[in-house]
Amino acid sequence: MNKQYLLLCSALLLGCGIMVSCSGNQAQFEMPMTKYETKVLQPEPKTYNMTFPASTCGITEIKVYPQVEGIVTKKNYVPGTIVQKGQTLFVIDPTEYQLSVQSAEADLKVAKANLETTRLQYESNQKLFEKRIISDYVLNTSLNEYNSAQASVSQAQAQLNIARTNLGYCTVTAPVTGYIAGNEYNVGDMVSRAMYLCTVSDISKVKANFSITETQLLSIVMEYHLTTGKNGMEGPNGSLVSEVLPKVKLKLKDGSTYKQDGQITVIGALVNQTTGTAACEAEFDNPEGVLRSGLSANIIIPLTIDSVLSVPQTAAVRLQDQMMFYRVKTDGTVEGIICKEVYPSNDGTEYYILEGLNAGDEVVTNGAGKLTNGQKIR
């Protein structure tokens, strides 16, 4: 009896130990759920800088081609220097064209002499016809010869003009004042009309070419009430976009900002279906010649929008060149949303989202880097 009692007590104690052990393990592995800060997105008025890659070129860039064929006998420029409008760049051997001018001058003299002869003959025949000495057939024949001689003079004069023009083309001059680039041909080389010689770039003003996305284009159009006119996008009442849009800045490759503000002069009205972007241009005065053609830079446009979604920068998870934000679903789980149209605030504390998230969405603002898709946070 005592032995059975002891066995029963041992079993009860063992069972209690197991229950206590299980209870202890449960308490050990059930960690409290991490609390994540969130924000419900609501549209707010914001001003931020939109940045776009750009390339520069002179306000006027002219590629120079020869107008005649021949051997280069003189080259009168150093690539990368400034040339003046009308300055001689190349001289093509003029010998052949000088001979053409001399030949055309001689032909013109012959034509003029023949004209004078036929004139005299016609005037003489007129007098004879009035005296009934010759027939009207003879008179009309002399008139035709006189008219033909006049045409020959005109033709000879035209040939002389062509010859003189070609001779003039032997001297290739700068079409504008600007920097010259290109060093394809030298003295002794044979050139013809199809051969590119050099480029003269007027950089007293410089254009910066850049592209904006369809979403950005719509934002700018709506913000500044742009419309499509005969000459592309224009402001209210037909005003130029340069009169409506804000001044822009140019950030150079070395990280410095060009000291003179520029002005957007062209907003593309058409969106390229392949790239999804519209071509734009900004113009900058360049009195000191700091800017050159072919520079890589960034256009910075300060844009004020009445309603934009903003989140702290801690809410973003960077995936290479994309930004992802975790949106909280109604069941308490999160889903990662990649947003393509994201821009940093000027003070570097927020991101402004133009595409991907909507007003009323709840977004995790802290600790997003530790989350995974479908994770429950509440």
Q: What is the CATH number for 186? A: 2.40.50.100
CATH number at residue 107: 1.10.287
| Of 95 and 225, more confident | 95
| 19 has pLDDT over 50 | no
Between 5-14, 52-61, 102-111, 200-209, the lowest mean confidence (pLDDT) is in 5-14
Q: Kindly report, residue by residue over 365-374, the tens digit of the pLDDT.
A: 998 989 999 9
Question: Domain check: are 189 and 273 in the same one?
Answer: no
Do the domain assignments include residue 262?
yes
Residue at 139 is within a domain: yes
CA separation for the pair 279, 213 (Å, rounded): 9
Q: How far apart are CA 136 and CA 117, in angstroms?
A: 20
Name the 3-class secondary structure at 185: coil
The answer to whether position 325 is within a domain reads yes
Per-residue pLDDT, 302: 84
130 & 74 share domain: no
Q: Name the pTM for this structure.
A: 0.62
User: What domain range is 119 assigned to?
Assistant: 95-169
Residue 10 has pLDDT above 60, yes or no: no
Same domain, 246 and 100: no
The pLDDT of residue 303: 75
Tokens found for residue 90: 């190349």
Token pair in block for residue 36: 């994540």
134-148: b or e for each residue (b if 16 or more CB lie within 10 Å)?
A: beeeebeebbebbee
Distances (CA, A) of 272 to 213, 220, 276, 278: 9, 17, 5, 6
Number of compact structural domains in the chain:
3
Q: Is 34 within the bounds of a domain?
A: no
Are both 334 and 210 inside the same structural domain?
Answer: yes
- 19 domain residue, yes or no: no
- Examine residue 347 and state whether it is found in any structural domain, yes or no: yes
Domain presence at residue 260: yes
Residue 9 is assigned to a structural domain of this protein: no
> Given this model, what pLDDT does residue 31 score?
55
Report the CATH number at residue 231.
2.40.30.170
Q: Per-residue pLDDT tens for 25-53?
A: 444 445 566 789 999 999 988 887 888 99
Query: Do 278 and 345 sit in the same domain of this protein?
Result: yes
User: Average pLDDT, stretch 149-167?
Assistant: 97
In this prediction, residue 248 carries a pLDDT of 94
pLDDT > 70: percent of the chain: 91
- Same-domain pairing of 254 and 153: no
Residues 124 and 231 in one domain: no
Q: Which of 101-115, 145-159, 316-330 has the lowest mean pLDDT?
A: 316-330
Res 21: pLDDT: 44
